[in-house]
Amino acid sequence: MLNAIIIDDEQKSCENLKILLEDFCKDVYISEMANTVANGIAAIQHHRPDVVFLDIQMQKETGFDLLKKIPLLDFEVIFVTAYSEFAIEAIKFSALDYLLKPIDINDLQAAVLKVEKKLLKSTLKDQLEILMHNFKMESGENYKLAIPNGEGLVFIEIKNLIYCEAQSNYTKLFMKDGKNYLVSKTLKEYDNLLSKYGFYRIHHTFLINTREIKKYVKGDGGYVVMSNDQSIDVSKRKKDAFLKSINISNVF
């Protein structure tokens, strides 16, 4: 099932497309319909769709303005437009899909099928490989983690992950090699996934790999210095449990 959002400033156009999708594309679920760029961004951040049906011209802004404001484009886009030859030409050169109003049912079904195939092809094989790799590992410290990005998936070894930082509904991952990844998952999701493998949430904003701590500096909550020399505060209320978890007596 594809999780979809429709963004169009014309309510009638939104409703018409929704009806067509419900009647002729049974594998598509419409999470929300938005009628402005701001509302569209909020809907994307909240629902994390697989595909966005995006009107090109919306009042004083465009669908392209919306895309520029999204920090992580980890969804497919099907543009919807009634005109603008220039925009259509640009879309064709980028190999993205578009639908002309009034929407033809066959074109709609073809565009949806293309998204489904693209999502399946780009991730399934790699995901199965990672699954088999992790099955073979005797220790969770050697697990690999699939990180979604705009092009598909990046696979990282969790032992090379220094810490994770919450950024609204996203999480930023900081690696030993200096790279970082912005991912459309909450820090709570990574906490649930990684806490069994040496990671500890020392603050509502940070989840750290305890094996990558260089030192702990005392204070009300104190702070840790990580292997990349980043200093991260420890929440005062988490201090005792954190120090206990890394086998340090709370003598501060």
Residue 252: the pLDDT is: 46
Q: Decide if pLDDT at 26 tops 60.
A: yes
Number of domains composing the chain: 2
pLDDT bucket at 248, cuts 50 / 70 / 90: low
pLDDT in tens, 202-236: 999 999 999 999 999 998 999 999 999 999 999 99
Paired with 140 in beta bridges are none
Final residue belonging to a domain, choices 95, 123, 151: 123
Note if the bond before 71 is cis, omega within 30 degrees. Answer: no
Is residue 43, in this structure, part of any structural domain at all?
yes
Is residue 131, in this structure, part of any structural domain at all?
no
Domain check: are 155 and 187 in the same one?
A: yes
For the domain that residue 239 is a member of, what is the CATH number?
Answer: 2.40.50.1020
pLDDT in tens, 87-136: 776 777 676 788 999 999 999 999 999 998 888 776 666 776 787 778 77
Domain check: are 75 and 15 in the same one?
A: yes
pLDDT in tens, 156-197: 999 999 999 999 889 999 999 999 999 988 999 999 999 989
pLDDT bucket at 146, cuts 50 / 70 / 90: confident
Say which residue the tokens 């594309």 belong to: 25
Is residue 32, in this structure, part of any structural domain at all?
yes
Is residue 251, in this structure, part of any structural domain at all?
no
For residue 109, give Cα distances in angstroms to 22, 23, 198.
Answer: 11, 11, 46
Residue 241: the pLDDT is: 94
Residue 9 lies in domain? 2-123
For residue 86, give Cα distances in angstroms to 81, 95, 177.
Answer: 12, 15, 42
Residue 123: the pLDDT is: 64
pTM of the model: 0.70
Domain check: are 71 and 146 in the same one?
A: no
Domain check: are 99 and 189 in the same one?
A: no
Number of C-beta neighbours around residue 226 at 10 A: 19
Is residue 132, in this structure, part of any structural domain at all?
no
For the domain that residue 80 is a member of, what is the CATH number?
Answer: 3.40.50.2300
How large is the average pLDDT for residues 54-82? 89
Go through the chain and tell me how many residues it has.
252
Residue 249: the pLDDT is: 52
108: closest CA among 32, 208, 199, 22?
22
